[in-house]
């Protein structure tokens, strides 16, 4: 794949999308078409200093492509409504399911490879484990409309007779890192912890409301966004350079494969600020209590078998980089 290739990145003003654009820029890719709702002024700093050839409003993408008749070499579809507390399924259905189908169909028609974002929210409470086995996807029971919309698209994609020449859906686990400041309640616990420490010198974590988990010992597979975008770039290069066989198409987990506790996460945030941990526990809000995942851990064998061999940041390494070089410095990536 050469640096003149034209790549669409959806969700480019958001957290993961803007990090993806930055990573591509650092690899020498500047022929980028950034797609998002660019009217959200607070997201402007995520994208305005990046190198790209065009920004296109999300609702206008397909009209724009038709009018410009652009030669697109790759699509990285990261745009979605990601708010897990938005319970109006119609919103998720339009933005996550229907829009993704439109992207897919465009890539089929134009023979363009596609990588899209799925989510570990598809796994629900984990009663079927966290294996990216296609046979399990039909059985999964996500806990919220966001997870349902992501799983519905995964199921739809697997049933398609016509598909892009190469494609993968990536089930992102708990992603953290720079450029997430605009996400509010949906931002990572690290971002919230950093701001709590600055304000009050203390981090509040949710109590456990299950007897089999101690307070703060709820476990998640936390993955640093710098690893995530590196995996996407690797897959893209493999697909475009002929190293990716059709049998590798499908849905993959993208976590670290190692679950860690929220307590460890908060402690690492204090360490990134050169402070001793000061952590207290509060009741979990009732509106999310019965929809809360207590344990997630990606089975990463499929990605490794596909040929990805690079190591991932440990929790301590990732949090330290994020806190010292971005949060403390008030920098985006």
Q: What integer pLDDT is reported at residue 293 of this predicted model? A: 78
Divide the 333 residues of the chain into consecutive groups of 10 and give the mean pLDDT of each group.
Answer: 89 97 97 94 94 96 90 93 66 80 97 96 92 96 90 96 97 96 90 96 94 93 98 97 94 97 97 97 87 88 97 97 97 96
Q: What integer pLDDT is reported at residue 86 of this predicted model? A: 63
Q: What integer pLDDT is reported at residue 89 of this predicted model? A: 67
Quick count: other Cβ atoms within 10 Å of Cβ 24?
A: 26
Instruction: Tell me, yes or no, if 146 is annotated catalytic.
Output: yes
Q: What integer pLDDT is reported at residue 302 of this predicted model? A: 98
Token pair in block for residue 144: 């919220």
Q: Which of 51, 101, 110, 183 is labelled catalytic?
A: 183
Domain boundaries of the chain, sorted by first residue: 7-176+222-257+294-312
Q: Which of 23, 106, 146, 181 is labelled catalytic?
A: 146
pTM reported for the whole predicted model: 0.94
For the domain 7-176+222-257+294-312, what is the CATH code?
A: 3.40.50.720
């Amino acid at each position: 794949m050469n640096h003149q290739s034209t790549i669409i990145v959806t969700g480019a003003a958001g957290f993961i999308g803007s990090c993806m654009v930055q990573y591509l820029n650092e690899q020498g890719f500047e022929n980028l078409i950034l797609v998002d709702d660019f009217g959200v002024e607070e997201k402007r700093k995520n994208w305005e200093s990046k190198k790209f050839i065009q920004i296109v409003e999300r609702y206008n993408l397909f009209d724009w492509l038709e009018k410009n008749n652009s030669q697109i070499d790759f699509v990285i579809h990261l745009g979605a409504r990601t708010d897990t507390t938005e319970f109006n399924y119609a919103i998720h259905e339009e933005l996550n399911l229907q829009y993704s189908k439109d992207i897919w169909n465009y890539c089929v028609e134009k023979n363009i490879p596609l990588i899209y974002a799925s989510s570990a929210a598809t796994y629900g409470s984990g009663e079927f484990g966290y294996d990216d086995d296609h046979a399990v996807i039909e059985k999964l029971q996500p806990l919220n409309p966001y997870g349902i919309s992501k799983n519905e698209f995964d199921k739809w994609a697997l049933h398609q007779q016509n598909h892009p020449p190469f494609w993968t859906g990536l089930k992102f686990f708990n992603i953290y890192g720079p450029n997430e400041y605009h996400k509010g309640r949906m931002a990572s616990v690290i971002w919230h912890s950093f701001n709590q420490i600055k304000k009050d010198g203390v981090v509040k974590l949710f109590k456990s409301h299950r007897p089999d988990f101690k307070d703060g010992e709820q476990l998640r597979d936390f993955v640093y966004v710098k690893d995530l975008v590196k995996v996407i770039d690797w897959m893209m290069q493999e697909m475009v350079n002929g190293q990716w066989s059709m049998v590798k198409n499908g849905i993959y987990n993208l976590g670290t494969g190692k679950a860690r506790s929220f307590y460890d996460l908060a402690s690492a945030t204090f360490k990134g600020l050169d402070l001793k941990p000061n952590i207290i526990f509060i009741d979990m809000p009732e509106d999310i209590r019965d929809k809360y995942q207590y344990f997630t851990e990606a089975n990463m064998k499929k990605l490794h078998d596909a040929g990805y061999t690079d190591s991932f940041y440990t929790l301590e390494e990732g949090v330290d980089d994020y806190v010292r070089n971005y949060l403390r410095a008030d920098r985006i990536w």
